[in-house]
Structure 1
Amino acid sequence: MNILILGAAGFIGTNLTIALAQNTHNQITLVDKDINYFSHIKEYGFNNVVIKESSLDEKEDFRMLEGQDTVYHLVSTNVPTTSNQHISQDIRSNVLFSSDLFEACVRYNVKKIVFISSGGTVYGKESVCPLKESTPTNPISSYGVQKITIEKLLYLYNYMYGLDYRIIRLANPYGPYQRPNGVLGAVTTFTYKALKGEQIQVYGDGTVVRDFIYIDDVIRAIIKIVYGESRHHIFNLGCGYGTSIRTVLETVEEALHIKMDIVYQPARAVDVPVNYLDISRYENDYGKLNPISLEDGIKKTAEFLMRKMI
Structure 2
Amino acid sequence: MKILVTGGAGFIGSNVADGFIRKGHKVVIIDNLSTGLKSNVNRKARFYEVDIRSAVIDKIFEKTKPDILCHHAAQIDVRKSTDDPIFDADVNVIGSLNLLNACVRHKVKKVIFASTGGAIYGEQDYFPADENHPANPLSPYGVTKLTIEKYLHFYRETYGIDFVSLRYANVYGPRQNPYGEAGVVAIFAERLLTDKKAVINGDGTQTRDFVFVDDVVESNLLALNYPKSDIFNIGTGIETDINSIFRLLRKITSSKQRETHVPPKPGEQQRSVLDCSKAERLLKWKPKNSLQKGMAQTVDFFQ
Which of the five TM-score ranges fits, normalised by the shorter chain?
Answer: over 0.9
Give 2:14's aligned residue. Answer: 14
**2-side partners of 1:247 and 1:305: how far apart?**
20
1:195 Cα deviation (Å)?
0.9
Change (3 A) 1:142 1:119: same
Contact 1:201/1:264 (<8 A) preserved: yes
Contact 2:50/2:56 (<8 A) preserved: no
Within the alignment, does 1:243 sit opposite 2:245 as a pair?
no
1:63 Cα deviation (Å)?
2.4
Compare 73-82 and 57-66 and name the one that shifted more: 57-66
1:206 Cα deviation (Å)?
0.3
Give 1:50's aligned residue. Answer: 46
Contact 2:200/2:261 (<8 A) preserved: yes
Alignment of 1:54-65 (within 5 A): 54-65=50-61
Change (3 A) 1:168 1:276: same
**2-side partners of 1:124 and 1:169: how far apart?**
13
Which of 139, 142, 152 is equivalent to 1:154? 152
Contact 1:80/1:270 (<8 A) preserved: no
RMSD: 1.8
**2-side partners of 1:257 and 1:32: how far apart?**
36
Alignment of 1:130-141 (within 5 A): 130-141=128-139
Which residue type is aligned with residue 272 of structure 2?
N
1:221 Cα deviation (Å)?
1.9
Compare 246-255 and 234-243 and name the one that shifted more: 246-255
User: SS in structure 2 opposite 1:193?
Assistant: helix
Which of 92, 95, 98 is equivalent to 1:97? 95
1:79 Cα deviation (Å)?
0.9
**2-side partners of 1:290 and 1:157: how far apart?**
30
Give 1:27's aligned residue. Answer: 26
Alignment of 1:138-287 (within 5 A): 138-229=136-227, 231=228, 233-287=230-284
Change (3 A) 1:88 1:41: closer
User: SS in structure 2 opposite 1:247?
Assistant: helix
**2-side partners of 1:122 and 1:109: how far apart?**
29
Which residue type is aligned with residue 278 of structure 1?
D
Change (3 A) 1:165 1:286: closer
User: SS in structure 2 opposite 1:156?
Assistant: helix
Question: Where does the alignment leave 5 or more consecutive residues of structure 2 unmatched?
Answer: none
User: SS in structure 2 opposite 1:21?
Assistant: helix
Contact 2:219/2:285 (<8 A) preserved: no
Contact 2:205/2:243 (<8 A) preserved: yes
**2-side partners of 1:60 and 1:217: how far apart?**
33
Contact 1:255/1:299 (<8 A) preserved: yes
**2-side partners of 1:131 and 1:296: how far apart?**
25
Q: TM-score, normalised by structure 1?
A: 0.91
**1-side partners of 2:276 and 2:292: how far apart?**
21
Give 2:77's aligned residue. Answer: 79
**1-side partners of 2:31 and 2:254: how far apart?**
38
User: SS in structure 1 opposite 2:27?
Assistant: strand
Compare 33-42 and 112-121 and name the one that shifted more: 33-42
Runs of 4+ in 1 over 3 A off after TM superposition: none
Q: Deviation digits for residues 214-239 of structure 1, max 9, x if unmatched? A: 1111111221123234x451000011
**2-side partners of 1:108 and 1:211: how far apart?**
37
Compare 182-191 and 244-253 and name the one that shifted more: 182-191
Contact 1:239/1:291 (<8 A) preserved: no
User: SS in structure 2 opposite 1:30?
Assistant: strand
1:126 Cα deviation (Å)?
4.0
Q: TM-score, normalised by structure 2?
A: 0.93
Change (3 A) 1:158 1:289: same
Identity across the alignment (%): 32
**1-side partners of 2:113 and 2:221: how far apart?**
13
